[in-house]
Chain A
Amino acid sequence: MTTAPDSFLERAPLELRDWAVQLLPGPLQWLAHHLITVVAILAVFGLFFAFTTIAERKLLARLQNRLGPNRTGLPKFSILPWHLKHTLFGLSQPFADAVKALTKEDIVPAAADHFLHFLAPVIVVAFSLMTFAVLPFGREYLPVDLDAALLYFFAAGAATELAIFMAGWSSRNKYSLLAAMRALAQLISYELPLILSVVPVVLVTGTLSTKAIVLSQGYWIFGFLPHWFVFTPWGFAGFIIFLIAALAESNRSPFDLPEAESELVAGHLTEYSGFKYALFFMAEYFGLTALSGLGVTLFLGGWQAPFPFLEFIPSYLWFMMKLIGMIMFFIWVRGTLLRLRIDQLTRLAWQFLVPLALLNVGNAAFWVLTTHWAGPLQLVRWGVSLVIVILPFFFLGRSLSAGYAPRTYRYAP
């Protein structure tokens, strides 16, 4: 280890916070400390959400050989004597969208349950923000160091499903209600593979604390290769299952059935407009960001640098770079794959992901039991673990896709 933990850039945000806190009288310091953390998370991930939306639109456009939004510049403020004519590559688009959403009329159906209709978007944003509390954003940047952090993360994440059903039910609209029920079926189906894909990490590290999980990925193999869990057979399989389940949990394409833009009016959001709709949208992206952050934490080494000589870059920047990479991958998948039907969706979860995830738990158990194997036995350990991953995938995939592929097009040229 170099002197990276003590470098100025690594410490600067912490020093700034401590300096601001010590300005206040003693009894307020505890409160100020946590409020600053909360405000920092809200500001950083609020802006991150804004730029994720524009990045998504631009990336999707590029994936389809289009240009994407590039017109929104700065408005002419009447008090300023000059006007910046540059369009800034359309980067101010999210702020224009925010102004639009804020100024739209907020319509609540007359027959709706007004209180729950109002509460649903609030709850969905609150719970998806709460998951950020246990993500280690850097070496010293963990808002709350819980022993049962993973449990807390999934508890808070699952609570957003309550809000989705609340939105569908309180709208008093049959389409909203049906869509909310379908969304619930999807979310509960994928909750299982999501959590099962995380269990191997817990088995191997023996802890639920996100901080300890990241630290256990911290040393180097042969002095330069990262010891991230994604580079082990069980970790790779777990990561892939986690990716698929995370896509479904955050209602992303190809699992975006709850509000399939091209087919439904907006699913459970049918009766929402203006800023409440924007809040649901925001919660969806917060959920995606939080799940990506969890994936980075569990499988991609968290805030660790990939190589020892890159450790001079502050840990929080490494975390953000990996997070952006994950989100770009999700956007790439959205630009590529088609939407599944509801039966295909649940079939994929129950017949494919859940069995594979269960086998992967056994794989991790084998990995833990063989930690003392050394020398040529190490190769046997890797071989057996790889076989436990690949063979079930191959045979399960074959049996599931039997009779479906390859598709022949009789009339197409």
Chain B
Amino acid sequence: MLGSGIINGLIVTAKNFVGSYHDPKRMVTVEYPEQRTVLPENYRNFPFLISENATDPMGTLRCVACQICEKECPPQCIIIEKSKDKKPDASGKPQLYPAVFGIDTSVCMSCQICVEVCPFDAIKMDQVFEIAATDRFHDLFLTREKLAKPNSYYHQIHPTEAAEVDGRLNTERKAAEEKAKAAAAAKAAAAAAKSVPVAGVADPGPASPRPATPIQPASAPAAPATSPVPKPQDEPRSSPAGEGGPANPAS
């Protein structure tokens, strides 16, 4: 009959009205600043750097300043400067570290390509979305200090992914240690057998900073060698006087 659909609709909304007072499951909104929903694990917005140790974040960054992410970044929002010296990483090997690591979040498009190309699992996607700032040039440019977050935080926001990464890293470190041990043992055995060093041959040494197989995740698809010709650097987009200001005086 004409009008029965209208009455059915009125009943549906009346049920909503009554139900919204006693059934919290019906509510589709939360009172945001006080109540928060749990973010889905796959949610991502901007990258952050993983440090092994929360007490010394700058000293234990996984990043070795290889600059792959800087070259791969489509909007080119990452800036890296290599260090002059080397520091031991988690497995005790001396490595370069980023003296400067910056991400301009006003440029970043959250594509996660930096995460996918990183061979060291050093950069991951964060879930912090309350990033309103009053100064777009300084507050939105995240420096190394702001980017570094401990591995435990990574476990907190992406538990499955972090467990998988940690398992892989541990097996690789173990394998590398065993290989180094085996190499050292073989070397020692060879040295004991020959007992006479051959002159003129450079000693490779078991404690070489770069072993024959560098620590690298087996599944990392993009080795540095396969990466294409680096893109030429763009002109800087903002002059010191801000966007639309005079051109960079250096150029």
Interface residues of A (CB under 8 A from B): 59, 62-67, 332-333, 335-337, 393-394, 396-398, 400-401, 405
> B6 within 8 Å of A by Cβ?
yes
Report the nearest B residue to A329, measured CB to CB: B10
Q: Cβ of A64: which chain B residues have Cβ within 8 Å of it?
A: 13, 16, 28
Give the CA-CA distance A394 to B13 in the complex, in Å: 26
Give the residues in chain A near B26, CB-CB below 8 Å: 65
Q: Is the CB of B2 within 8 A of A62?
A: no
Neighbouring B residues of A333 by C-beta, 8 Å: 10
Classify the interface of chain A: helix, strand, loop or mixed. helix
Whether B29 pairs with A66 at a CB distance below 8 angstroms is: yes
Q: Min CB distance, A103 to chain B, in Å?
A: 24
Interface residue B129 (Cβ < 8 Å from any Cβ of A): no
Residue of A332, A396, A405 near B13 (CB, 8 A) is: A332
Q: How far is the CA of A59 from the CA of B28 in the complex (A)?
A: 15
Taken residue by residue from 9 to 27, chain B's Cβ proximity to chain A (1 for < 8 Å, 0 otherwise) reads as 1101110110111000011
Nearest CB of chain B from residue A110's CB, rounded to whole Å: 30
**Quick check: B16 and A67 within 8 Å, CB to CB?**
no
Least CB distance from A86 to B in Å reads 15
Which among A59, A65, A67, A401 is the interface contact of B2 at CB below 8 angstroms? A401
Tell yes or no: B3 within 8 A of A by CB: yes
Q: Is A62 in contact with B14, judged by CB distance below 8 angstroms?
A: no
B11 to chain A, nearest CB (A): 9
Report if A336-B10 is in contact (Cβ < 8 Å); known contacts: A62-B21, A400-B2. yes
Chain A residues within 8 Å of B2, by CB: 393-394, 396-398, 400-401
- Judge whether B38 is part of the interface by a CB distance below 8 angstroms: no
Contact check, B9 vs A65: say whether CB atoms are below 8 A apart: no
A65–B20 alpha-carbon span in the complex (Å): 5
Indicate with 1 or 0, residue by residue over B21-48, a CB within 8 angstroms of chain A CB atoms.
1000011110100000000000000000
Question: B1 near A: Cβ within 8 Å?
Answer: yes
Known: A393-B2, A397-B1, A401-B2. A62 touches B16 (CB 8 A): yes
Known: A62-B17, A66-B29. 15 other contacts (CB 8 A): A63-B13, A63-B16, A64-B13, A64-B16, A65-B26, A65-B28, A332-B10, A332-B13, A332-B14, A336-B12, A336-B13, A337-B9, A394-B2, A398-B2, A401-B2
A405 / chain B contacts, CB cutoff of 8 Å: 5
| Chain B, Cβ-Cβ closest to A64 | B16
Can you name 11 A-B residue pairings with CB atoms under 8 Å?
A: A59-B17, A62-B16, A64-B28, A65-B19, A67-B27, A67-B29, A332-B10, A332-B13, A336-B12, A336-B13, A400-B2
Q: How far apart sit A64 and B26, CA to CA, in the bound complex (Å)?
A: 9
Given contacts A332-B10, A336-B9, contact A65 B16 (CB under 8 A): yes
Chain B residues closer than 8 Å to A398, beta-carbon distance: 2
Known: A62-B20, A397-B2. A67 touches B13 (CB 8 A): no
Smallest CB separation, A396 vs chain B (Å)? 8
User: How far apart sit A64 and B1, CA to CA, in the bound complex (Å)?
Assistant: 26
Could you tell me if B27 and A397 are in contact, using CB atoms closer than 8 angstroms?
no
**For residue B27, which residues in chain A have a CB less than 8 angstroms away from its CB?**
65-67
Complex-state Cα separation, A403 to B50, whole angstroms:
65
In the complex, chain A residues whose CB is within 8 Å of the CB of B16: 62-65
Residues of B contacting A67 in the complex (Cβ-Cβ under 8 angstroms): 27, 29, 31
Roughly how many angstroms separate A400 CA and B2 CA in the complex, as a whole number? Answer: 9
User: What's the minimum C-beta distance from B76 to chain A, rounded to whole angstroms?
Assistant: 40
Across the interface, which residues of A come within 8 angstroms of B17, CB to CB? Answer: 59, 62-63, 332
- Give B14's nearest chain A residue, CB to CB: A332
B124 to chain A, nearest CB (A): 35
CA distance A59 to B14 in the complex (A): 10
A252 vs B3: C-alpha distance when bound (angstroms): 18
Interface centre among A65, A393, A398 (most CB of B within 10 A): A65
